[in-house]
């Protein structure tokens, strides 16, 4: 039945309003007339069409569950205080929790800071650990069922799909049958046989909830992920500011295979804190399936011709949402998951970050005032994967999956006639003390506009290597310049050899160390690499980055020794140096253990040039590099601002994440690079949201946040002097910004009407003479004294105004590992310059010092 306002149940509970309604009932705000307190009343409606005997059994079971729920007492759980039946329906009486649900919070304020999300995650995981210890599985965790109280605490509510869990008999009954909300429900929750869920099911749902909270969008449903794995994007592709540690934990929590997830809520909390690894174990030994052994016919590469379609693989159709169809989908998902494995590429990129403070300083272009001890990374054993038997042999990269260095045989069981050169995907670190040797990472710089070495106007001698999983053709479908580009299609089987190589030998003049290619991507996130052969026949990989979405984007990478996978040594005599002259050898697409197995990209205008080759900072904007093809290569100009004085700190502080360790670093508007101050705990870092940052050695620095106002609606953002306020409204998806005089409420002007980036706040200058807001990623400036607005910085993330309002601090994406560099500009957007220049270092939470 549907309750009406004013209706009284049990002569005690008076209905006040409807809070929410779903397929299994509704939740009402009500008033307890006996205790004179507000309560939440949940109406539970059984599935229609059940026979009387089953209804009796369900009511008995539901009453038993309600009795157990009433015994739960935890600060982050809603408390059940009563249970009753009336007019054929069952009701739960719960404490009324003031606040707004997490979905509403994200919609109103945008994506919260990572440190805030982690605080909520620890609270919810603590609540889940308590529930699971009492034998209760929630089964419907989602942003709508997390209430953020006015004091900032997160409370888990709504036990509508609660299940009594017995670890010795997991197939127990659930009174109110339901599958949960598709975007947040794990695959086992759809099983036709009731009772397959356990605590790992709640781990999945909470992981999906954190995914939504950290990225601003819900993950794909499990059926969509099974039908098209490429739809599930790693969180950092949607929010590059996330730390690798948090991304790894969310990815493991949302594994489709139950055995790959965290076993307990406590284990997930430890991984989020960095106290335990977040990498998922393998489910089982790799199975040999028809799909795994099936290969495509030889791809034909013909100048100007359309590519031959690859052999179609047999796929299980996702044809129904019925229980039987879902059971079939989950079964197929299991077979796909069993053969799935994580490749080492991304893991080793993250392992690189566990270098010592000295290595961070040298590789990132930062000065180190004094040596500081830090943990050394564990060595990563490698496992060789060999190529298939095909006419053209290509060097085959190695990958790591388990702690073993035993090489495997060649694929398909066919021995290689000659030893196959392999690439080591372990960081090259040798030191008698166990500390990795610092690597000097050249910083790529932007090439001149017309320096393309390969334009694909002439097809030449392109041919595919021995991995039969793709084809490349000359095309006019998508072209950046000229008449032709290259169309690269791939179709990877579920094997370790999920990469494809396209060979093309071309001499390179001079001593190039930087390479770039324009790419029209498919959003796969796969690695795109160029292979180069040097004078000693050593093959090097130049990692250009991860393939993004549609639209032409330039990807740039560095040729240098001592770089870990996906850059560095591939095969041949490894002597630790690049021996010039070199030759362009191959273009490679490599799937890093995630992303779609089929897709296509377009490549055009491959360029090579000589960039800055030292570990010092790169030139400021305006410095150019000369392409190798046009003559001798001049030395890159030095930075226009000096490095930091040793031992001093600047006016800007930020946090460096290196594996499971954190460091406080500093820079200044007059510097061209940063320097490390010392190790720091995350809770005391610039990311913690406090007024100070304190190192482990006890050094404390005051932080300045400025006059910031989160984007909400309706909302007033008063100026620092209290004379004006900017009022924010929203209508049909657009925001309206208007300036009012506070003293009399008069509207001074209507400043803006259109879309806003709600994840970036509105900023007031200290003197109240101007304010800033962000459209997409462009920072705009307006004034209460004049109409209109104008852009000041084209790309600005996390902008902060200096204490005197004369400068803007912000970050911009840099490099290929998801890092950001820190920039400073004048308040009007002039004199924009990079003050860190460290493309391989994760820099978080830049703040002004006070």
Q: Which residues are catalytic?
A: 140
End-to-end CA distance of the chain: 61
Residue 154: CB atoms within 10 A of its CB come to 22
Residue with tokens 């790591």: 400
Q: How many Å apart are CA 74 and CA 363, to the nearest integer?
A: 47
The sign of the torsion formed by the CA atoms of 455, 461, 467, 471 equals positive
Give 438's Cβ-side CA count (13 Å radius): 16
**Lateral strand order in the sheet of 146-148:** 100-101, 146-148, 154-156
Measured in degrees and rounded to the nearest 5, phi and psi for residue 285 equal -55, 150
Residue ranges with strand state E in 392-537:
396-399, 422-423, 452-454, 463-464, 470-475, 485-491, 499-508, 514-520, 527-533
User: Which residues in 89-107 are b (16+ Cβ under 10 Å) and which e?
Assistant: bbbbbbbbbebebbbebbe
- Where do runs of H (alpha helix) occur along 186-240? 199-215, 222-227, 235-238
- What are the residues facing 570 on neighbouring strands? none
Taking the C-alpha atoms of residue 713 and residue 729, their distance in angstroms, rounded to an integer, is: 5
Sign of the dihedral defined by the CA atoms of residues 72, 76, 81, 85, in that order:
negative
Q: Which residue has the tokens 């190039």?
A: 512
Exposure of 142 in the CB half-sphere (CA atoms within 13 A): 21
CA 410 – CA 389 distance, rounded (Å):
8
Separation in Å, CA 32 to CA 29, 126, 768: 10, 30, 49
Strand partners, 586: 503, 531
Buried b (16+ CB within 10 A) or exposed e, 453-486: bbbbeebeebbbbbbbbbbbbbbeebbbbeebbb
The torsion defined by the Cα of 570, 575, 580 and 586, in degrees rounded to 10, comes to -10
**List of residues 6+ apart from 395 with CB closer than 8 A:** 420, 421, 422, 423, 531, 539, 570, 571, 572
**Contact residues for 329 (Cβ-Cβ < 8 A; gap 6+):** 187, 190, 223, 226, 316, 318
Pairing of strands 89-95, 842-849: unpaired
List the one residue out of 657, 799, 810 whose CA is nearest residue 242: 657
Are the beta carbons of 655 and 696 closer than 8 angstroms? no
Residue 841 tokens read as 């270092």
CA count, 13 A, side-chain hemisphere, 617: 26
DSSP tag of 454: E
Distance CA 660, CA 244 (A): 10
Q: In what order do the strands lie in the sheet with 463-464?
A: 463-464, 499-508, 582-590, 527-533, 539-546, 568-571
3-state secondary structure of 231: helix
């Amino acid at each position: 039945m549907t309750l009406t306002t004013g209706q009284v149940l049990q002569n005690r509970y008076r209905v006040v309003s409807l809070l929410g309604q779903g397929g299994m009932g509704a939740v009402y705000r009500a008033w307890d007339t006996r205790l004179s307190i507000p309560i939440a009343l949940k109406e539970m409606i059984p599935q229609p069409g059940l026979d009387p005997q089953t209804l009796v059994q369900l009511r008995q079971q539901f009453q038993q569950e309600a009795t157990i729920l009433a015994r739960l007492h935890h600060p982050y759980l809603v408390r059940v205080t009563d249970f009753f039946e009336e007019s054929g329906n069952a009701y739960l009486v719960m404490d009324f929790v003031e606040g707004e649900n997490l979905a509403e919070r994200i919609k109103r304020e945008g994506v919260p800071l990572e440190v805030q999300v982690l605080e909520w995650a620890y609270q919810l995981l603590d609540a889940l650990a308590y529930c699971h210890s009492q034998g209760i599985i929630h089964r419907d965790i989602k942003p709508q069922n997390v209430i953020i109280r006015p004091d900032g605490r997160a409370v888990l509510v709504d036990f509508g799909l609660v299940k009594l869990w017995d670890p010795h008999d997991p197939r127990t009954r659930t009174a109110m049958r339901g599958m949960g909300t598709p975007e947040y429900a794990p695959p086992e929750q759809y099983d036709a046989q009731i009772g397959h869920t356990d605590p790992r099911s709640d781990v999945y749902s909470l992981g999906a909830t954190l995914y939504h909270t950290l990225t601003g969008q819900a993950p794909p449903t499990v059926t969509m992920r099974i039908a098209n794995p490429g739809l599930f994007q790693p969180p950092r592709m949607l929010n590059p500011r996330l730390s690798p540690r948090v991304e790894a934990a969310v990815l493991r929590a949302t594994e489709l295979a139950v055995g790959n997830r965290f076993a307990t809520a406590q284990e997930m909390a430890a991984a989020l804190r960095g106290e335990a690894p977040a990498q998922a174990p393998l489910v089982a030994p790799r199975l040999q399936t028809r799909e795994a052994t099936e290969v495509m016919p030889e791809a034909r590469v013909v100048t100007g011709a359309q590519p031959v379609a690859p052999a179609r693989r047999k796929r299980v159709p996702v044809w129904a949402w019925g229980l039987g169809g879902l059971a079939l989908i989950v079964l197929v998902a299991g077979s796909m998951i069993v053969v799935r494995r994580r490749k080492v590429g991304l893991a080793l990129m993250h392992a690189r970050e566990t270098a010592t403070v000295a290595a961070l300083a040298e590789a990132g272009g930062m000065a180190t005032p004094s040596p500081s001890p830090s943990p050394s990374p564990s060595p990563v054993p490698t496992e060789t994967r060999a190529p298939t038997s095909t006419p053209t042999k290509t060097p085959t990269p190695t990958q790591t999956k388990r702690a073993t260095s035993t090489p495997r045989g060649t694929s398909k069981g066919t021995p290689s006639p000659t030893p196959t050169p392999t690439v080591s995907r372990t960081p090259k670190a040798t030191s008698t003390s166990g500390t990795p040797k610092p690597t000097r990472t050249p910083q790529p710089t932007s090439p001149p506009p017309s320096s393309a070495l390969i334009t694909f106007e002439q097809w030449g001698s392109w041919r595919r290597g021995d991995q039969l999983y793709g084809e490349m053709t000359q095309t006019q479908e998508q072209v950046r310049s000229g008449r032709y580009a290259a169309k690269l299609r791939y179709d990877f089987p579920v094997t370790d050899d999920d990469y494809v190589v396209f060979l093309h030998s071309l001499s390179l003049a001079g001593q190039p160390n930087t390479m770039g290619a324009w790419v029209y991507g498919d959003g796969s996130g796969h690695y795109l690499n160029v292979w180069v052969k040097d004078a000693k026949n050593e093959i090097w990989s130049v990692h250009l980055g991860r393939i993004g979405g549609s639209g032409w984007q330039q990807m740039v990478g560095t040729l240098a020794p001592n770089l870990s996978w996906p850059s560095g040594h591939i095969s041949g005599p490894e002597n630790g140096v690049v021996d010039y002259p070199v030759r362009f050898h191959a273009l490679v697409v490599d799937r890093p253990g995630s992303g779609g197995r089929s897709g296509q990209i377009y490549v055009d205008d491959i360029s090579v040039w000589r960039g800055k080759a030292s570990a010092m900072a790169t030139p400021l904007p305006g410095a150019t590099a000369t392409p190798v093809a046009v003559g001798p290569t001049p030395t890159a100009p030095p930075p226009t601002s000096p490095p930091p004085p040793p031992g001093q700190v600047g006016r800007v502080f930020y946090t460096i994440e290196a594996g499971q360790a954190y460091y406080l670093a500093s820079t200044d508007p007059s510097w061209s690079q940063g320097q490390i101050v010392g190790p720091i705990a995350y809770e005391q870092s610039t990311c913690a949201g406090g007024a100070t940052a304190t190192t482990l050695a006890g050094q404390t620095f005051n932080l300045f946040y400025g006059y910031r106002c989160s984007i909400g609606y309706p909302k007033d953002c008063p100026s620092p002097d209290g004379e004006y306020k900017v009022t924010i409204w929203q209508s049909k998806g657009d925001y309206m910004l208007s300036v009012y005089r506070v003293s009399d409420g008069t509207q001074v002007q209507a400043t803006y009407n259109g879309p806003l980036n709600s994840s970036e706040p509105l900023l007031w200058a200290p003197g109240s003479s101007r304010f800033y807001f962000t459209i997409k990623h462009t920072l705009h400036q307006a004034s209460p004294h004049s109409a209109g607005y104008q852009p000041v910085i084209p790309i600005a993330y996390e902008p902060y105004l200096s204490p005197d309002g004369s400068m803007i601090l912000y970050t911009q994406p840099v490099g290929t590992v998801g890092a950001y560099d820190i920039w400073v500009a004048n308040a009007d957007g002039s004199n924009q310059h990079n003050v860190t220049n460290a493309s391989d270092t994760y820099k978080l939470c830049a703040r002004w010092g006070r």
